[in-house]
Amino acid sequence: MKRQFLKKALGIALGLSVISLSATVHAEYNPKLLRIGFQKSASLLTLLKAEGTLDKRLAAQGIEVKWVEFPAGPQLLEGLNVGAIDFGYVGEAPPIFAQAAGANFVYVGYEDAEPKAEALIVPKDSPIKAVTDLKGKKVALNKGSNVHYLLVKLLEKHGLKYTDIQPVFIPPADARAAFERGSVDAWVIWDPYTAAAQQQIGARIVADGTGVVNNYGFFLAEREFASKQGEVIKQLFDELQQHGLWITKNYKAAASKIAPLQGLDTAVVEQTLRNFSHLIKPISEPVLDAQQKLGDTFFELKLIPKPIRVKDASLAGK
């Protein structure tokens, strides 16, 4: 019953259909297995999987690495909750909804602030030149995602209320079609969708997250795994940090490697890579405090049913 409730809560909150994991039996903790949840759009993990260095490193210690692909953060978080994976990477917003729904995970690390990796865009010939021009306009967004928070904060910064615009809740692929048809006036979206819209149809950025939001990416782990496998997580982070550093010194080469894995144009991937930090750090109190502000905002907007204490989802929190 609890799993079914979590699945429904995440699906409704984010406007996404959650893949069915209800038949998954919660696996017993296995010290010889690391199951990593990833999304193809997460370039760093996609590269790490393809390179195979982590697999080889842990295999020498008798630990098997299993990679499990998910279409989006909410599904990945359900995978953590039902024991299908031990570790995964998502954006800022999905953990807020998952925690409100009772998911069992902890924050173990983060990718440093990436405010340029999400933006408010308009068609190239749009009369909208500034955020203040959004009053009364239709704005497409993925409900409950990072860009939902970006939109709220952009409006606030420019003296508008959330009720001054008409939010249109549609997932990215459908939003792109609506954007091209002119069914919406603007779109708040993240890379690589932003980069693709700029390069392919000439979309124009009105504002990105600079000076408005942090846009952290988070590494999460199942609580028992995190408490018992600190050394494995440390080695995983070491590999992520090494690959992240390589990306920042080799954007073109990295894009050439990652683009075919993601099914995207190399130029789109390179622009996306340049907008992400690729700096991986252990979780910290200031970052959890910033995440708390996001949770409080979503509660005020009635996007989650109850207030949450983000620090409860840390190893020190319970």
The domain limits of the chain are 2-114+216-313, 116-208
Exposed / middle / buried, residue 112 (Cβ in 10 Å: 0-12, 13-18, 19+): middle
Going by C-alpha positions, the residue among 80, 98, 95, 74 that lies closest to residue 19 is: 74
pLDDT of residue 225: 94
Q: CB under 8 Å to 227, separation ≥6 — which residues?
A: 315
CATH superfamily of 2-114+216-313: Periplasmic binding protein-like II (3.40.190.10)
Bridge partners for 221 per DSSP: 87, 106
- Token couple for 309: 């204490």
Query: Counting beta carbons within 10 angstroms of the beta carbon of residue 263, is it exposed (0 to 12), middle (13 to 18) or buried (19 or more)?
Result: exposed
pLDDT value of residue 57: 97
The pair of structure tokens assigned to 24 is: 């998954």
List, in order, residues 6 or more apart from 61 with CB less than 8 Å away: none
Question: Which tokens belong to 145?
Answer: 């995602």
172-181 vs 193-201: helix crossing angle, rounded to 10: 30
| Residues whose CB falls within 8 Å of the CB of residue 73, separated by 6 or more in sequence, listed in order | 39, 90, 91, 93, 94
- Supply the pLDDT for residue 317: 67
116-208 architecture in CATH?
3-Layer(aba) Sandwich (3.40)
Asked if 173 and 142 count as a contact pair (C-beta separation under 8 A), the reply is: no
Query: How far is CA 122 from each of CA 127, 177, 185, 208, 273, rounded to the nearest angstrom?
Result: 9, 13, 7, 12, 22
CA–CA separation, 259 and 270 (whole Å) = 8
In degrees, rounded to 5, the angle at the alpha carbon of residue 242 between the alpha carbons of residues 241 and 245 is 85
pLDDT tens string for the chain (318 positions)?
334 433 343 343 333 333 333 334 456 678 899 999 998 778 999 999 999 999 999 999 999 999 999 877 778 888 998 999 999 999 888 899 999 999 989 999 999 999 999 999 999 999 999 999 999 999 999 887 889 899 999 999 999 999 999 999 998 889 999 999 999 999 999 999 999 999 999 999 999 999 999 999 999 999 999 999 999 999 999 999 999 999 999 999 999 999 999 999 999 999 999 999 999 999 999 999 999 999 999 899 888 999 999 999 998 766
Equal fold, 2-114+216-313 vs 116-208: yes
